[in-house]
Amino acid sequence: MNPRLLPLLATTMIFLLAYAICILQFPSMLSTRVVGNLLTDNAYLGIAAIGMTVVILSGGIDLSVGSVIAFAGVFIAVMLRDTALPPLLVLALLLALTTGFGAAMGGLIHLLAMPPFIVTLAGMFLARGLAYVLSIDSVPIDDPFFKSLQGAYWLMPGKGRLHLIAGIMLASVLVGALVAHRTRFGANVMALGGGEATARLMGVPIARTTVLIYAFSGFMAGLAGIVFAIYTSAGYPLATVGVELNAIAAVVIGGTLLSGGSGYVVGTLIGVLTMGLIQTYIVFDGSLSSWWTKIVIGGLLFLFILLQKALLRLGPR
């Protein structure tokens, strides 16, 4: 068997095992209502984490996603409040903006030969700052079209609601998986993650790929921002602080190597769901304090990193 599949397999096993334990303790967690909520509540994180997966597969990192999500929410809210533009045009404008923002960061990373860590850190300040400039208060969104997006859902068997935003997340996973694993661009990303010198020698267009990678992450962060705006029906510049960390954690738990070059987009979905499951368990339990979420996620990270380390030592790279 392909040893690269082992981390993904381990992640899936741990998720199923954790879910089984949850069901044993709280049988009602098996219902499609819980599953629907799990997908809906984590939709924005999942979408952002898919963009992050592609960035990390290339050996980079994008610290700006949390700020871009907040900026997106404020942008949508302010545009819908202050202009007469149709909502769909606002969303298209926003996606063009965040994609361009990501592309600019990718361009700077390549042009300046600076580590992505520092360049996207500046991007994080900039996006958060622009969100403040647009508004320092929370801006409600009462657009009827937006309300209809929020109310849209598909009733699953067992009365669970699969909301539109959960559907967007699942579709993004599919698109992300196709892009990362079935296109030439995806192959270039993997090659870049394996090592830039080798990728260059193989004829990978480094500049174009780098720009596209961060543009993709910017697009996904913008989409996550739209989903978050639908989810909360407001734009707030202080929202989603630190989401980039959760996204990175989800990617690592999902079995992607942080050094780049190896991993699966589907794993990230399972990573996000595992983190969501911990939160759901704490809500169901009722007596555990919220800080246990962070401690358990930290413990899970530790476990998965050790596991990857062991697998790397056992199997050929």
Partner 1 sequence: MKRLAPQLLTLAAVIVLISLVFPGFLSVEFSNGRLVGAPIDILKRGAPVALLAIGMTLVIATRGIDLSVGAVMAICGAVAAWAIVGGHGLGAALGLALGAGMLCGIWNGLLVAAFGIQPIVATLILMVAGRGVAQLVTQGTILTFSHEGLAFLGSGSLLGVPVPALIWIAAGAVTGLIVRQTALGLLIEAVGVNPRASTLAGLNTRVLLVAVYLIAGLFAAIAGLIVTADIRGADANNTGLWLELDAILAVVIGGNSLLGGRFSILGSLLGAMIIQSINTGILLAGYPSEFNLVIKAGLVVVILMLQSPRLAQVFALPRRAPLARPKEAGE
Q: Which of residues 30-89 bind partner 1 (CB under 8 A)?
A: 59-61, 63
Chosen residue from 179, 301, 307, 311 binding partner 1 by CB under 8 A: 301
Chosen residue from 245, 283, 285, 315 binding partner 1 by CB under 8 A: 245
The distance of closest approach from Cβ of residue 71 to partner 1 in the complex, given in angstroms and rounded to an integer, is 11
Sign of CA dihedral 199, 204, 205, 207: negative
Chosen residue from 68, 74, 80, 130 binding partner 1 by CB under 8 A: 130
Chosen residue from 180, 248, 265, 278 binding partner 1 by CB under 8 A: 248
Per CB under 8 A, does 16 bind partner 1? no
The distance of closest approach from Cβ of residue 121 to partner 1 in the complex, given in angstroms and rounded to an integer, is 6
Residue 59 or 222: the one with the smaller Cβ distance to partner 1 is: 59
Enumerate the H helices of the chain as residue ranges. 5-25, 32-41, 43-57, 65-82, 87-112, 116-134, 144-151, 164-182, 184-194, 196-201, 206-232, 243-253, 265-285, 291-314
Q: Which stretch binds partner 1 (CB under 8 A): 13-21, 107-115, 167-175, 277-285?
A: 107-115
Per CB under 8 A, does 118 bind partner 1? yes
Per CB under 8 A, does 220 bind partner 1? no
Per CB under 8 A, does 123 bind partner 1? yes
262 Rama sector, left if φ>0, alpha if ψ -120 to 50, beta otherwise: beta
Per CB under 8 A, does 235 bind partner 1? no
The distance of closest approach from Cβ of residue 194 to partner 1 in the complex, given in angstroms and rounded to an integer, is 12
Q: Which stretch binds partner 1 (CB under 8 A): 39-47, 76-84, 106-114, 149-157?
A: 106-114
Residues 6+ apart with CB under 8 A from 225: 44, 68, 69, 70, 71, 72, 73, 75, 76, 94, 98
Q: Which stretch binds partner 1 (CB under 8 A): 167-175, 183-191, 221-229, 300-308?
A: 300-308
The distance of closest approach from Cβ of residue 312 to partner 1 in the complex, given in angstroms and rounded to an integer, is 10
Structure tokens at 316: 């050929």
Neighbour-count burial for 183-198, b at 16+ CB within 10 Å, e otherwise: eebbebbbbbbbebee
Neighbour-count burial for 118-130, b at 16+ CB within 10 Å, e otherwise: ebbeebbebbbeb
Q: Which of residues 169-208 bind partner 1 (CB under 8 A)?
A: 196-197, 206
Q: Which of residues 266-295 bind partner 1 (CB under 8 A)?
A: 289-295
Rounded Cα–Cα distance for residues 227 and 272 (Å)? 16
Per CB under 8 A, does 151 bind partner 1? no
Rounded Cα–Cα distance for residues 148 and 56 (Å)? 35
Chosen residue from 5, 20, 112, 178 binding partner 1 by CB under 8 A: 112
The distance of closest approach from Cβ of residue 131 to partner 1 in the complex, given in angstroms and rounded to an integer, is 9
Chosen residue from 18, 93, 97, 121 binding partner 1 by CB under 8 A: 121
Rounded Cα–Cα distance for residues 211 and 54 (Å)? 12
The distance of closest approach from Cβ of residue 79 to partner 1 in the complex, given in angstroms and rounded to an integer, is 18
DSSP class of residue 158 equals T
Question: Contact positions toward partner 1, by CB under 8 A?
Answer: 59-61, 63, 108, 110-119, 121-126, 128-130, 132-133, 136, 196-197, 206, 245, 248-249, 252, 258-260, 289-295, 297-299, 301-302, 305-306, 309
